[in-house]
Amino acid sequence: VHGTFESPSRAGYTGLWYSVELEEKQETERDQSRIKKEDQANGIVETVSGTEGTVVKAERKKQTERAPLLYDLTSLQRDANSRFGFSARRTLSATQSLYEGKKALTYPRTSSRYLSGDMVPQLVPIAGTLLPIREYSKFAQNVIDLFDSGNEVPLSRIVNDDRVDDHHAIIPTDVEHDTSDFSEDEQRIF
């Protein structure tokens, strides 16, 4: 059960509830001990919502993580399967619809996970089309701010002309996106 907690000494934070007995187990055993029944999770939420608690243990780790590569069709299908349980065909169908019907994504049948250098000037306009979409507005603004800062933008991880053949990675297009017009599958893929 993931929860949002308030604290008088710091801003709210998110945390993960698990039983105290799991404290001593290895991380992999914790993953196997996840709550699998919705009613059990809802019972925990109902019991603890609005109550006070005590932080028994807090851990802070500094980590660096490389940004993931962009999607090609295969990596998008894998991710959609692990996140949403989508089959490869279901993912392709939603992606193809977003490309052909909604003009929201670029060509989906690509094997490249990179952009070509000539696409860099289009990244800010593309980010601009994502600003009105609540789920993406913060990230889109970060992209725009990064380009506007005058500092060098770290694009070497995603821009590589040598790794782009006929089609670049799957990205949003630079047209306005009306996500309320998207099916549930299209919203998830987008």
Cα–Cα dist 116/118, whole Å: 5
107 catalytic? Reply is yes
Model pLDDT for residues 2-11, shown as the tens digit of each residue: 777 777 776 7
Q: Which residue has the tokens 């998110």?
A: 14
Model pLDDT for residues 145-171, shown as the tens digit of each residue: 999 998 888 899 999 999 998 999 999
Q: Of the listed 13, 71, 107, 114, which one is catalytic?
A: 107
Indicate if the pLDDT at residue 82 is higher than 50: yes
pLDDT at residue 41, as a whole number: 85
Which of 81, 109, 95, 128 is CA-nearest to residue 166?
A: 109
Six-digit token string for 115: 């952009």
Secondary structure in 3-state letters for 76-129 = HHHHHHHHHCCCHHHHHHHHHHHHHCCCCECCCCCCCCCECHHHHHHHHHHHHH
| pTM check: above 0.75 | no
Q: What angle do CA 156, 186, 145 make, to 5 degrees?
A: 35
Is the Cβ–Cβ distance between 16 and 28 less than 8 Å? Answer: no
Q: Span 94-118, mean pLDDT?
A: 97
Q: How far apart are the first and last CA of the chain?
A: 26
